[in-house]
């Protein structure tokens, strides 16, 4: 019951139209794909996400503060492609704007069931350090949490990316005013949030999403075999013990030794 980080790719541009990742990622069936898309214009936000494999994505509601926005899309791949490209579509593909896309792919243990767990968002039109999402309690003991935070720029840099506050996260991208970082957790997290320090005050938009992995239940046949084993093994062990006792008694009789059985002394066999 665990996730493994597989690969990621980032792309950015100032322009119109869609935005795709630069390089390919090998996506297998069952992989968790989480894509963070941002726009430096309140009216230019991601409203569709597609990939080469043809997977269907859940596109979350845009987090909008000041003139910037951040959207997270995700899927559990049902189609594979060894050279997968992720492409974001926008509600306004005519207006030029700075756009970013960062795609992360995680692989769960084989046979595990992966599902969306919790999310929390935050932001401000103008705020000093730190910048943070809202908080939520995760429910899984094997989780991956992905956080994206976009600032309005102005030469501000960010550091100390954590999930939650006080626990260092793995940074995937920290450039073009966008930070994307994640954590693979092996226990539930109370008051989970994404948080980072900044060198100044500005507007920002932020959100984290979490996913849990649960080991598959044993099949019906495997479950029945385990139940049979649990019930009958003590009986088999008891019978085996009795057979050993009888064998020891017989060997003793053959050697002419006395054995006490049921409180009576058995006579040795005559030669």
Determine, yes or no, domain membership for 57: yes
Same domain, 115 and 92: yes
Domain termination site, one of 174, 191, 214: 214
Q: What's the Cα-to-Cα distance from 2 to each of 77, 171, 199, 215, rounded to whole Å?
A: 17, 19, 35, 9
Same domain, 122 and 139: yes
Same domain, 24 and 63: yes
Same domain, 94 and 168: yes
Q: Tell me which residue range forms the domain holding 242.
A: 220-265
Q: Tokens 């401000």 label which residue?
A: 124
Low-confidence ranges of the chain (pLDDT < 50): 259-263, 265-266, 269-271
Q: Tokens 């935005």 label which residue?
A: 19
Same domain, 198 and 184: yes
Same domain, 52 and 126: yes
Determine, yes or no, domain membership for 31: yes
Determine, yes or no, domain membership for 150: yes
Same domain, 199 and 260: no
Same domain, 39 and 111: yes
Q: Residue 49: what are its φ and ψ, rounded to 5°?
A: -135, 130
Domain termination site, one of 214, 230, 246: 214
> What's the pLDDT at 233?
63
Same domain, 111 and 193: yes
Same domain, 128 and 236: no
Same domain, 209 and 224: no
Determine, yes or no, domain membership for 12: yes
Determine, yes or no, domain membership for 193: yes
Determine, yes or no, domain membership for 163: yes
Determine, yes or no, domain membership for 270: no
Q: Is the dihedral of CA 61, 158, 161, 13 positive or negative?
A: positive
Contacts 24+ apart (CB under 8 A), 249-254: none
Residue of 212, 156, 166, 153 lying closest to 185 (CA atoms): 212
**Total number of domains in the chain:** 2
Domain termination site, one of 193, 214, 235: 214
Determine, yes or no, domain membership for 271: no
Same domain, 56 and 162: yes
Residue 168 is given by DSSP the state B
């Amino acid at each position: 019951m665990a996730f493994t980080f597989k690969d990621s790719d980032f792309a950015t541009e100032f322009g119109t139209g869609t935005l795709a990742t630069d390089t390919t990622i090998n996506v297998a069936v069952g992989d968790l794909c989480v894509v963070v898309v941002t726009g430096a214009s309140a009216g230019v936000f991601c409203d569709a996400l597609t990939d080469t494999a043809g997977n269907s994505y859940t596109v979350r509601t845009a987090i909008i503060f000041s003139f910037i926005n951040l959207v997270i899309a995700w899927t559990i791949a049902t189609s594979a492609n060894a050279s997968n490209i992720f492409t974001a579509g926008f509600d306004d593909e005519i207006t030029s704007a700075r756009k970013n896309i960062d795609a992360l792919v995680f692989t769960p243990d084989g046979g595990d069931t992966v599902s969306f767990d919790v999310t929390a968002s935050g932001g401000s039109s103008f705020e000093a350090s730190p910048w943070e999402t809202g908080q939520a309690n995760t429910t899984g003991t094997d989780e991956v949490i992905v956080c994206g935070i976009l600032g309005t720029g102005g030469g501000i840099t960010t550091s100390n990316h954590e999930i939650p506050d006080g626990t260092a996260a793995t940074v995937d991208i920290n450039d073009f005013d966008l930070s994307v970082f994640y954590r693979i957790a092996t226990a539930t997290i109370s008051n989970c949030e994404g948080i980072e320090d900044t060198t100044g005050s500005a507007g920002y938009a932020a959100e984290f999403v979490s996913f849990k992995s649960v080991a598959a239940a044993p099949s019906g046949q495997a479950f029945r075999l385990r139940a049979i084993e649990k019930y009958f093994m003590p009986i088999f062990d008891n019978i085996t013990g009795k057979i050993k006792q009888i064998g020891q008694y017989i060997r003793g009789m053959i050697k002419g030794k006395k054995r006490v059985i049921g409180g009576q002394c058995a006579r040795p066999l005559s030669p």
